[in-house]
Amino acid sequence: MKKDHLKVALAQIAPIWLNREATIDKVVDYINDAAKQNVDLMAFGEAIVPGYPFWIEPTGGARFNAPDQKELHALYMDQAVQIEAGHLDKVCAAAKKGNVALYLGIIERAQDRGGHSLYCTMAYINKLGEICSTHRKLMPTYEERLTWSVGDGHGLRVHELGAFSVGGLNCWENWMPLPRAALYGLGEDLHVAIWPGSKRNTDDITRHMAKEGRSYVISVSGLMRPSDFPADTPHFNKIIKGIEGKEFLADGGSCLSAPDGQWVIEPQVGEEGLYVATIDHEKVRQERQNFDPVGHYSRPDVTKLTVDRRRQSTVEFID
């Protein structure tokens, strides 16, 4: 493969919902498939391990002190990822064995915030199987705030991969101009946006970000159908009744745009799959000729962004 080329894969899958280990096994299977195709970088959807909190809306999740919400949240917490406990070890081993870097959307039970709050986190694992960054979603969207906590700027980072500098954001963070600008300022030219799954989300913004950043943009979504809810889920009947008539709660929409806004992979809807393409860094350099948002087409003497990347904590111990 030419030095400017990178082979990327979009893993559009449904989780084994609220089952961390089974979902991780499925993720590993997809990593192994990508490795067989000599993929350099792959990505999975937002919160794919152990799944998106699809129960909140159909069960009236805003009812204060509701026993059903407490029970479901407790299960969610139990099945969330504790990186310090080694929950991603299988994923890291598969990445190393397959020589594949990846972005993985997880629900993180963060020990550095007491161990009992949940964060929507985007983990970057390099080809050596090392977890290089964990970006906690800055602002959970709408009903997500009933189960996820507010993140911080610690994970606003890019990683060198071949000719590219790759970074990423979770879901509606991609609508936030300043976090995007922070990644542009770090030299990002391959952006990974992860979503719970919806073509209506990915169809427009993927190409918009590509044109704005003059970067390749990968949007990777999950999939969720009524049949994907395990029958032993607490309050299963209430959830199913609340989604009656829906074919999908998340229909995918994974796609890949070139820096000029042209589709490399059009939005993929309704099917699980591994979608693979080769991208060329020369295209980035061509498009930066007339626009570079943090380079020759910027005015830092007029407007400038300050980013706090400290990991936020309630306490600081001085021993």
pLDDT per 10-residue tile (average), the chain, 319 residues:
92 98 98 98 98 96 96 98 97 98 98 95 98 98 96 98 98 97 98 96 96 98 95 94 93 98 98 98 98 96 96 91
Q: Is 316 inside a domain boundary?
A: no
Q: Is 230 inside a domain boundary?
A: yes
Q: Is 298 inside a domain boundary?
A: no
Residue of 7, 26, 137, 211 marked active site:
137
Residue of 46, 144, 173, 188 marked active site:
46
Question: How much is the pLDDT for 270?
Answer: 95
Give which of 121, 178, 183, 139 is closest to 157, Cα–Cα.
183
Cα–Cα dist 308/14, whole Å: 34
Question: How much is the pLDDT for 2?
Answer: 79
pTM: 0.96
Q: Is 170 inside a domain boundary?
A: yes
Q: Is 142 inside a domain boundary?
A: yes
Calculate Rg over the CA atoms of the chain: 19
Residue of 171, 188, 211, 287 marked active site:
171
118 three-class SS: strand
DSSP code of 110?
-
Say how many C-beta atoms besides its own lie within 10 A of residue 149's C-beta. 17
Q: Is 73 inside a domain boundary?
A: yes
Q: Is 164 inside a domain boundary?
A: yes
Q: Is 296 inside a domain boundary?
A: no
Active site residue 46: yes
Active site residue 171: yes
Say how many C-beta atoms besides its own lie within 10 A of residue 228's C-beta. 17
Judging by beta carbons within 10 Å of its beta carbon (0-12, 13-18, 19+), is residue 297 exposed, middle or buried? exposed
Question: How much is the pLDDT for 1?
Answer: 66
Domain of residue 112, CATH code: 3.60.110.10
For residue 60, what are the domain limits? 5-287
Strand partners for 280: 5
Active site residue 137: yes
Answer for the pair 122, 102: CB distance below 8 angstroms, yes or no.
no
Give me the number of domains the chain comprises. Answer: 1
Question: How much is the pLDDT for 24?
Answer: 98
